[in-house]
Amino acid sequence: MQIVMKLSGCLPVLVLLLAAVSSSQAKYGGGSGTADDPYQIWTAEQMNTIGANKDDWGERFKLMADIDLSGFDGQWGRPAFNMIAPGSQNTFTGVFDGNGHTISQLTIRGGDYLGLFGQIKYPAEIKNLGLLDIDVTGSGYFVSCVGGLVGSNGTYLGSTKGGTITNCYGTGMVLGTGGQANFFGGLVGANYGEVSQCYYTGVVKGAWHVGGLVGGNGDFMFPQGVVRYCYSTGTVQSINQVVGGLVADNYGTVTCSYSNAAVSSDLQSAPWTGGLVAANHGTVTNCYSSGAVRGMGWYAGGLTCWSMGTVTNCFWDTQTSGQATSSGGTGKTTAEMRRASTFLAAGWDFVGETTNGTAETSGGLMRARAIPNCGGASRPKAPMAAAAVPRKTRTKSGPPTR
């Protein structure tokens, strides 16, 4: 009798546990949110559910299929997407593994801290994810920290360390409409963690601190941002100042990366327009830029326009950039940029040769498929190849059409 009574007393607890498991599986496509059994995301509806469940922002997720978010664009009566950890007061600290899949047609409208993830912080991880046809717009005169993937990786002004973003890419548009729109990046608005093996190709436009991949990398109080094995293409434009092909304002480390994005500033008196980095206060090593650089005012540079930090073993193309000078790096003609000897002399390690080592790190950078050897013992995984054409084409006045 006592045994029966004890078991009977446990039944309500068992029922609650089973109900909790059933509820989590109903919200998502399976899993329990742990390292061994992450929540599974199979559909756009399940992806949208993450942002509505704040208690899950420290859990682990795994994307199980390519997802189209065109049904959550907030237009023509459709619901807006629930951004994950929006605003400066929220953070995502879990793990999101894209599992080699893509999320397409992400549309976000708002103010500060915009992106698929508004703000993440250590020990957060976002990895193996592609974003196709991003359409993110930050509106407001003083709007800040806007990126296609993450608005701010770490707390703005660096009081909290950021997480890691690895093997991710994005295509599309990231725009700021305010006169002081600050810290805009194709993938990350502000970075206080690590961004590695990532790229962005598309349009980025804002006012201050506008970068093709990352807007601000660290700051004067917390110079802890790292960008490595990354690149950017497309167009990067500032309506004010401080605009860079890869990173706008660098206080941390930028290494083994490049940009061939076209960079421009519209303001007549705007300083700080750079092919790779606009203003460098930190360290830039083993990088290059080859995109056009157009500054309407003073301080335009082929690689970087202003540097009080260090720039080592870096180059820019003086012909394609239209810039004969830079605050750091070595200018070369297009023909010289295509010669392996230019980079071998600086200690770069090419795939297939052993003159400067056998690490043979490759991210498909130059036409010669070269990336500098950054001292790693093994070859890092190259960024995933972006799909050239998204599955659907947006229309501004109506629903997506096939």
For residue 383, what pLDDT is reported? 38
One DSSP character per residue, 317-367 reads EHHHH--S--SSSEEE-HHHHT-HHHHHTTT---TT--TT-S-------ST
Sign for the CA dihedral angle at 50, 382, 251, 211 comes to: negative
Please report, for residues 152, 201, 401, the alpha-carbon distance to residue 172 in angstroms, rounded to integers and kept in the order given: 19, 7, 17
Q: What is the pLDDT of residues 336-373, one digit of tens each?
A: 999 988 988 888 876 555 555 544 433 333 433 344 44
Please report, for residues 166, 212, 284, 320, the alpha-carbon distance to residue 224 in angstroms, rounded to integers and kept in the order given: 17, 19, 13, 32
Please, are residues 277 and 304 in contact by the beta-carbon 8 Å criterion? yes
Other C-beta atoms closer than 10 Å to the C-beta of 137 total: 18
Q: What is the pLDDT of residues 130-153, one digit of tens each?
A: 999 999 998 877 778 999 999 999
pTM: 0.85
- Ranges of the chain whose pLDDT falls below 50: 1-8, 11-22, 358-373, 375-402
Which residue, 67, 108, 135, is CA-closest to 391?
67
Please, are residues 232 and 220 in contact by the beta-carbon 8 Å criterion? no
Rg (CA), the chain: 22
Q: How far apart are CA 105 and CA 171, in angstroms?
A: 10
Q: Any residues with CB less than 8 A from the CB of 66 and at least 6 apart, and which?
A: 101, 102, 103, 104
Which residue, 172, 171, 151, 154, is CA-closest to 163?
154
Q: How far apart are CA 146 and CA 148, in angstroms?
A: 7
Domain boundaries, the chain: 31-344
Tokens of 294: 């157009």
CATH of region 31-344: 2.160.20.110
For residue 275, what pLDDT is reported? 95
